Amino acid sequence: MPRPLAVICLAAGLGKRTKVSLPKVLLPLCGRSLAANALQSVAPLQPSRVLLVVHHQKEKVEAAVRAEVDGVFNDLRFVDQGDPRGTGHAVSVAMAALGDFDGDVLVTYGDCPLITTATLEQLRELKGDLPCSLLTGYPDDPAGYGRILRDDDGEFAGIREDRDCSDEERAIDEINAGIYCFDAAALRSALEQLDTDNDQGELYLTDAAMWLAQSQRVATLEVEDGSEIQGVNTLADLAVARIVMQERILEHHLHNGVLITDPGTTWIDHDVEIGADTTILPCTVIGKGCRIGSHCEVGPFSHLRAGTVLEDGAEIGNFVEAKKTRVGAGTKAKHLTYLGDTVIGKKANIGAGTITANYDGVHKHQTTIGDGAFVGSGSVLVAPSTLGNGAMTGAGAIVVRGSEIPENEVWVGIPARRLKVRGEGS
């Protein structure tokens, strides 16, 4: 039976360098916050306990993260670090909250969103029966990172923080990524040895690994893709992280049979489902939570927002925006259209310039459009309203709030009124 796993995710930082009021770990990245991205990477490891160490705007962080990862973990807790006194202090606070937990403890960061599950799995496997394993890397510029110290046999001997390095140590190009897997009992012992004898006067978690290495072997794993260990400290870092994360998301959909004609201008969030044989055309934005069937076409210049569902064969085209809308199989909305809080049946046609006016200034309302309906160009459908199966509106029609157009009837004008039954003579 595998050892129990606890995860400690450090997310208490102030994030001054972002220069925004939002807590750094809540900055958005492809439909998730930084913290939620970091936590989602550990979810497949099925940890028995997950602790997020917080402090700055802790209530806001807790509320947001809980909402994002609701149902993902069986035991998610938030621990206030109090006055932050370094990574060693943060982990000590978390370990106190873990009580007598016995197993492996994985330490990650809420501002390190690109770490992958596969790397974390390797790190844990490498640890095995050892007291600790840690992740290292070779960035193009190691300045600012702690350097990995090794003995004459090449074994891990310690970590020296950049500001505490000698000139010789600063020339080392292998850095500490800051992600560890500890044996819980070994970690408790090591944390008791920490002191503040360093340039920042803080308790360094790095010293815990170094103390363990004095009597036992500590294993290191070099990360294959250096982007995984890139933290986000500035909005420029966030922009770079988005490029990397977006590439991963697009590769996932391409691998699953989605034709993305220009990945460079296509933006797709996490938690989007797209069926095989669907085509995504350039300059398209698809938000978190959208569901798109197979043999659909989206774009160019389309925006699908949260809650939008396209059934098989649906087509959303140039400058069309859909929000919380279901588009039936084979239905087309090809040009200059806004569909908000709308349910559309199968094989309907939504003409250019159509607006479903869902907001009355206070509340949102739904528009229902039946199978085979034909909405004329420039129509405005004021919600709540209903177009029955096969119903039609003439170009420029204004369907007022509360209207119910029966099946196969044609309504025209301002406000729209019944003209005839569809298919009858004029």
Residues involved in catalysis: 335
d(CA 257, CA 164): 51
- Between CA 7 and CA 113, with CA 243 as vertex, the angle to 5 degrees is 10
Cα 2 off chain centre by: 29
Gap between the Cα atoms of 127 and 41, Å rounded: 18
314 and 339 Cβ atoms separated by less than 8 Å: no
In terms of Cβ atoms closer than 10 Å to its own Cβ (0-12, 13-18, 19+), residue 96 is exposed
263 φψ region: left (φ > 0), alpha (ψ -120 to 50), beta (else): alpha
Neighbours of 319 (CB within 10 A): 17
Q: Token match 């009355």: residue? A: 360
Tell me the C-alpha distance between 323 and 134, whole Å: 44
Q: What are the structure tokens assigned to 23, written together?
A: 């807590």
- Region class of 148: left (phi > 0), else alpha (psi between -120 and 50), else beta: beta
- Residue keyed to tokens 């119910």: 404
Q: 159 with 148: CB under 8 angstroms?
A: yes
User: How many Å apart are CA 194 and CA 407, to the nearest integer?
Assistant: 76
Judge whether 320 and 343 are in contact, CB under 8 Å: no
- Name the DSSP letter for residue 371: T
User: For residues 354 and 308, what is the distance between their CA atoms, to the nearest angstrom?
Assistant: 17
List the Cα angle 326/330/332 in 5-degree steps: 75
By the 8 A CB rule, do 156 and 150 touch?
yes
Q: What is the residue type of 214?
A: Q
